[in-house]
Amino acid sequence: MTIDTVIGGCVVYYLDSSDGLDDQRLAILEDCLHDLDNLTDELDAESQPYFLRLRRLGRLLLDTRAAS
């Protein structure tokens, strides 16, 4: 699975669930953000904006946990 598919799946789950993200999805999301942190600088200039937005989306999802 690709990292954008995983983060997108977490978004869909979050929007469809009244309980928000479960612990398993939160852990997966944190792993994805860690991976994005490690690879973003290595991407070419054309690809970077997409993955930076993807990282921001993942961060926003994690921040919903703190706001609850």
21-37 residue pLDDT tens = 999 999 999 999 999 99
The percentage of residues in the chain with a pLDDT greater than 70, rounded to a whole number, is 96
Give the CA angle between residues 56, 58, 64 to the nearest 5°.
105
Average of per-residue pLDDT across 34-60: 93
Round the average pLDDT of the chain to a whole number and report it: 92
How far CA 49 is from CA of 2, 9, 20, 27, 40, in Å, comes to 17, 20, 27, 24, 9
Query: pTM to 2 decimals?
Result: 0.86
Average of per-residue pLDDT across 7-34: 94
Would you give the DSSP letter of residue 20?
A: -
